[in-house]
Amino acid sequence: MSTENEGTEGPAGQSAPSAPPVPPSVPPAAPDSAPYAGHPGLGGHTAHAPSTPAATDAPTQQVPPVSPTQQLPPVPPGPVAPAAAVPPMPPAAGHGSGGWPPPAAPWGAAAPGAPAPASRPRGLANGLLAAVIGAALIAGGVGGGIGYWAAEHGDGGGVSTTVSAGDAPADFKREPGTVAAVANKALPSVVTIEAKSGVAQGQPEGGTGTGFVYDREGHILTNNHVVASAADGGELSATFSDGKKYDAEVVGRAQGYDVAVLKLKNAPSGLTPLALGNSDRVAVGDSTIAIGAPFGLSNTVTTGIISAKNRPVASGDGSSGKNSYMSALQTDASINPGNSGGPLLDASGAVIGINSAIQSAGGSGLGQSQAGSIGLGFAIPINQAKNVAEQLIKTGQPVYPVIGATVNMSDENGAVIAAQGAGGSAAVTPDGPAAKAGLKAGDVITKFNGKAVDSGPTLISEIWNHKPGDTVTVTYKRDGKESTVDLTLGERKGDG
């Protein structure tokens, strides 16, 4: 399991080919539409994203060159009838007096002044005009049948079959509940965090992570491992989606929970906190939306579902040797280094978790990895994160619920109470919650408040879903016999 330590222009479309000179009586036809030029590629931030290929141009129909006027055979001598006066031909639509080519039309729009597409082939001679008008009603009746026959035989007859969606209206609105609507509302309340270690720590180090507005006073909720490098004399800043950047300071952080609270310096007025949901009511299969700065690409939105609930996760920052524990929400929304601390939203836009860790292919153990997402992301449930945040804002330090017993972290058949505690101390704290409940060294805790426990990390994750003073039910085995007792959780202050 790994946590993130946040840390061409496309070718222009070709112009319409020039038509050869034509007699004034045979004006050239206007092109169907102007070609579409490619757009600039996307540039990366921390890690350069690959250039986006230019949009593929729809093939523009080439205007066939006008055939030169045919030479007529010589007329034998004899009386010649007077030539009838031929009225001048009006200029072709779209030409006006500007000559060839006509003004280019935008992509998807007809050329200015161009006639509507006809329901018959073009190129009829003037001499057939009366016949064509006379047959218009008949052509209208059989056109559908002919079109169907041509489609079945793969013969388009040289007529384009593309369909234009037209210009999107300026006031186009996304329906509430769509990803676009949720993202549009949430993005102004999400920040990209930059952390730099203090100069006193040697060579400055830093990283990029994410956070979100927790309240109107300017508190930002994020992961501890995002800001840990700058917590002691370093520099922190938060940049909003509109590009405005503010200095920030650490109000409090909880390494065990992997939660931290920042405060913006000179916080702007009108901050909009993200609405907090209820992570206890989340169901497997619910839609999720993650917002963050993967590899420095700020304001990135990804989607997925809740893949599992109450997933016991122990994650580390790869440097301190200390782990964080959570009973996590698992999601397949793409989460990468830089997403840490960002919100995991439900379909209504409410925060249900804080993105914190990923499982990376080929990663070893619980350390730091810069590998990408494989669809296994983990978020701290917001109900737990909210309790921690309120405590940090109130006192500046975390408070952990405890059972007063040291358990082995490597066993996989339950949480085994160790033979002794840290530094040779007693494994079961005298007069602590576990001692009062009758637990002893060697006991194997198999259930906690009705939920199965298969290891020490799982037990800690479940304990930290509660508050000090909560009464819970503990099931354990001793000498092969299973027993159940009630236990009132104690507390531990700080990350000592």
Q: pLDDT digits over 357-377, tens only?
A: 998 776 544 444 456 788 899
Q: Provide the residue type at 254 as one letter.
A: A
What's the mean per-residue pLDDT of the chain?
74
Question: What pLDDT is recorded for position 84?
Answer: 46
pLDDT at 464 over 80: yes
Tell me, what's the pLDDT at 106? 39
Reported as a pLDDT band with limits 50, 70 and 90, residue 70 is: very low
Q: Regarding predicted confidence, which is higher, 378 or 160? A: 378
Share of the chain above pLDDT 90, in %: 49
Determine the pLDDT at residue 429. Answer: 93
314, 366 contact by CB (below 8 A) = yes
What is the average per-residue pLDDT within 223-228?
Answer: 93
In order, the DSSP letters of 37-58 are: PP-PPPP-SSSPPPPPPPPPPP
Residue 389 DSSP one-character state = H
Q: Are 345 and 316 in contact, with CB atoms under 8 Å apart? A: no
For residue 245, CA distances in Å to 52, 170, 211, 237, 265 come to 28, 30, 13, 7, 10
Mean pLDDT of 377-403: 95
Q: Which residue has the higher pLDDT, 368 or 326?
A: 326
Confidence of residue 415 (pLDDT cuts 50, 70, 90): very high
Confidence of residue 207 (pLDDT cuts 50, 70, 90): confident
Q: What span, in angstroms and rounded, lies between the C-alpha atoms of 246 and 187?
A: 16
Report the residue count for the chain. 496
- Residue the block writes with tokens 């030539």: 83
C-alpha closest to that of 49 among 330, 277, 296, 349: 296
- Read off the pLDDT band of 445 (50, 70, 90): very high
Please say whether the beta carbons of 7 and 205 come within 8 A: yes
> Per the structure block, which two tokens stand in for 404?
């007063």
- The CA distance from 462 to 373, in Å, is 26
pLDDT band at residue 409 using 50, 70 and 90 as cut-offs? confident
pLDDT at position 317, please?
59
Look at 315 and 230; give whichever has higher pLDDT.
Answer: 230
pLDDT given for residue 203 in this prediction: 56
- What is the rounded average pLDDT of the residues 336-358? 95
The most confident of the ranges 129-143, 302-316, 356-370 is: 302-316
pLDDT digits (tens, 9 = 90+) for 245-297: 999 999 999 999 999 999 999 999 999 999 999 999 999 999 999 999 999 89
Taking the C-alpha atoms of residue 356 and residue 461, their distance in angstroms, rounded to an integer, is 14
Q: Are strands 206-213 and 219-222 parallel, antiparallel or unpaired?
A: antiparallel
* Greater pLDDT, 96 or 249: 249
- pLDDT value at position 36? 31
Tell me: pLDDT of 331 over 50: yes
pLDDT band at residue 168 under the 50/70/90 scheme: low
Residue 174 near residue 180 (C-beta atoms within 8 A): yes
Asked whether the whole model's pTM tops 0.75, one would answer: no
Report the pLDDT value the prediction gives residue 161, as an integer from 0 to 100.
74
User: Which stretch, 57-66, 72-81, 284-293, has highest mean pLDDT?
Assistant: 284-293
Q: How does DSSP classify residue 66?
A: P
Mean pLDDT confidence for 31-59:
37
Does 191 have pLDDT greater than 70?
Answer: yes
Indicate which residues carry an active-site annotation.
225, 258, 340
C-alpha 178 chain-centroid distance? 13
- C-beta of residue 1 within 8 angstroms of C-beta of residue 328: no
Model confidence at 449, pLDDT cuts 50, 70, 90, reads: very high
CA 89/CA 65 separation, integer angstroms: 19
Average pLDDT over residues 317-344: 86
Query: CA 104, CA 431: separation in Å to the nearest integer?
Result: 86
